[in-house]
């Protein structure tokens, strides 16, 4: 069986300020994670002949992948974070204050709620289909470095979690979720590399 390693990008400057979306760079803590991740991947995949590193097209995932050497890297737009549309760059507090109806409708149905001029979780799940097909097809390990909403959807697919749970799945920073797909089903291990 070959592993799929899922991880969020290292902490971004916007994570620190509580802002969603945007294309921020990673913080110092995020940089430290990128180094720890590279170390982990090097050890974990040492005996593998091939493997690939998949990121989104956003800086925070590309920077997180940058210390990893020796494996091809592929950028997928489909791995970009949920598009928050007009709310991109705002904090949840700002959304609540300035767009209370939007805030409430998202709270009521986070799975189906679509940000004005942006996406819903259902949209994200749909655009991930080609990524999932390609992941299923790969014979060698893949490290997926992406974002919270996207990883919730990917993880739910492999862990067979119900649709309605997806927006609420805990997806901590600085943690690797290793999925092994074998004949007996899916096995999961978690590695928390730092706080």
Q: Which residues are catalytic?
A: 8-9, 15, 60, 81, 147
Task: Please tell me whether residue 135 binds ligand G3H under the rule CB under 6 A.
Answer: no
Minimum distance, C-beta of residue 146 to ligand G3H, in the bound complex (Å): 10
Q: Considering the rule CB under 6 A, would residue 3 count as an interface residue with ligand G3H?
A: no
Q: Which residues of 142-178 are buried (b: 16+ CB within 10 A; e: fewer)?
A: bbbbbbbbbbbbbbbbbeeeeeeebbeeebebbbbbb
Q: Binders of ligand G3H: how many residues, by CB under 6 A?
A: 9
| Residue 149 lies near ligand G3H (rule: CB under 6 A) | yes
The one segment of 23-31, 52-60, 78-86, 132-140 that binds ligand G3H by CB under 6 A? 78-86
Considering only residues 55 to 74 of the shown chain, the ones binding ligand G3H according to CB under 6 A are none
Token pair of 135 as six digits: 């992941």
Residue choice 119, 147, 156, 157 for contact with ligand G3H (CB under 6 A): 147
Length of the chain: 195
The answer to whether residue 167 forms part of the interface with ligand G3H (CB under 6 A) is: yes
- Closest to 135 in 3D by CA, of 9, 42, 3: 3
- Residue 21 makes contact with ligand G3H by CB under 6 A: yes
Sequence-ordered list of residues with C-beta below 8 angstroms from that of 35, at least 6 positions apart, any chain: 67
Residue 98 structure tokens: 């300035």
Q: Does 20 bind ligand G3H (CB under 6 A)?
A: yes
Backbone angles phi, psi at 178, to 5 degrees: -100, 125
């Amino acid at each position: 069986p070959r592993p799929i390693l899922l991880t969020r990008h290292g902490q971004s400057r916007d994570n620190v300020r509580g802002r969603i979306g945007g294309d921020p760079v990673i913080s110092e803590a995020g940089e430290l994670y990128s180094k720890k991740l590279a170390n982990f991947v090097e050890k974990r995949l040492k005996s593998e002949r091939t493997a690939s590193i998949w990121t989104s097209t956003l800086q925070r995932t590309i920077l997180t992948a940058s210390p990893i050497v020796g494996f091809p890297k592929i950028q997928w737009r489909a791995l970009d974070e949920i598009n928050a549309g007009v709310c991109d760059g705002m904090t949840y507090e700002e959304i609540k204050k300035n767009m209370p109806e939007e805030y409430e409708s998202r709270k009521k149905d986070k799975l189906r709620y679509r940000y004005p001029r942006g996406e819903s979780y259902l949209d994200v799940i749909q655009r991930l289909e080609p990524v999932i097909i390609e992941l299923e097809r790969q014979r060698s390990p893949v490290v997926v470095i992406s974002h919270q909403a996207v990883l919730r959807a990917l993880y739910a697919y492999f862990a067979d979690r119900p649709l309605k749970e997806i927006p609420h799945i805990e997806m901590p920073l600085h943690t690797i979720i290793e999925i092994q797909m074998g004949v007996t089903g899916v096995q999961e291990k978690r590695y928390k590399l730092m706080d």
